[in-house]
Amino acid sequence: MFMFSHSHTCLNSCICPSSCSGQASNSYKLPYSFTGTGHVVLNGAFYYNRAFSRDIIRYDLRHRYVAAWTTLHDALLEEHVLRTNTDVQFAVDESGLWLMYPALDMEGFHQEVILLVHLRHRDLQPIKSFRTGLRRGRYGNSFLVCGVLYAVNSMEHRYANVTYAFDTHTLTHTVPSLAFTNLHLHTSQLAYCPLDKKLYAWDNAHQMTYDVVFAY
C-alpha cells in the first residue's frame, strides 16, 4: 500500500501487506507526482492519477518507465493547486483493474455522477463504464469486491456503515447496512486485495486489515 498524499516517490513493498514484512523493498522515482491515496499496484505496475490533472498513468516497476498514459476528458476535477483529496481512485478485484472518478452524466439530467470503469490494465483503455448512485462528498470510502462496489458512509465516525452497493453484473443498487469501524477515526484509504480476500485500510497512521466473509 502507498500512503503518500503528494509525492514523486513510491515505496514498493507488495500488493497485499499481509504477505510481506511491511518493509519497503524498492524505491522508485516517478516521472510525475501524484496526490491522494487512489493508486494501486497490479502485475508489476503502479497505476496512479498524475497530480492536479486528468491524466492516469501505468508505471512499469520492473523497467521503471511510463508504459501507458491516457486522459480522462470527461472528469470533473478541482483544478486548484491545493487539491489533495482522491477524486480519481483505482481499485483491483478478481476481474482486474477498475477506476472511479466524478464526471458529467450526459445520458441523464447532466448532473455530476461517479463513474466506475473497468480498464484494460496494459493500455488503460475502457472495457465497460457504469454510472453509480454515488455523489462526490456524500460518502467516506469505497472498495470493490467481485465486481460489486461498496461505499462506507463515513471515514471519521468510529461506528460507520456500508450503506451503498452497486453490482456491475446485475446493474442493481442496494443498501446493505453492514457495520464498519473506523477505529482510529480517520480512514483515508480502503482497498480490497483479491489475493487474500481482505480489506486493507490506512486509519490515522495505523495500517488496519478486515476479513471479508462471502455469504454464498
CB atoms under 10 Å from CB of 61, counted, come to 16
Q: What is the pLDDT of residue 14?
A: 45
Split the chain (216 residues) into runs of 10 and give each run's mean pLDDT: 52 45 70 91 95 95 96 84 70 97 81 95 97 92 96 95 97 95 93 94 93 79
Locate 34 and state its grid cell: 501524484
Locate 40 and state its grid cell: 494501486
Calculate the CA 34 to chain-centre distance: 13
Q: What is the pLDDT of residue 213?
A: 86
Q: What is the pLDDT of residue 24?
A: 54
Summarised one tens digit per residue, pLDDT across range 59-73 is 999 999 999 999 999
Calculate the CA 81 to chain-centre distance: 21
Locate 117 and state its grid cell: 470503469
Residues in the chain: 216
Residue with cell string 514484512: 21
> Whole-model pTM above 0.85?
yes
Contact between residue 164 and residue 151 where contact means Cβ atoms under 8 Å apart:
yes
For 6-211, CATH number out of 3.40.50, 1.10.150, 1.20.1260, 2.120.10 equals 2.120.10
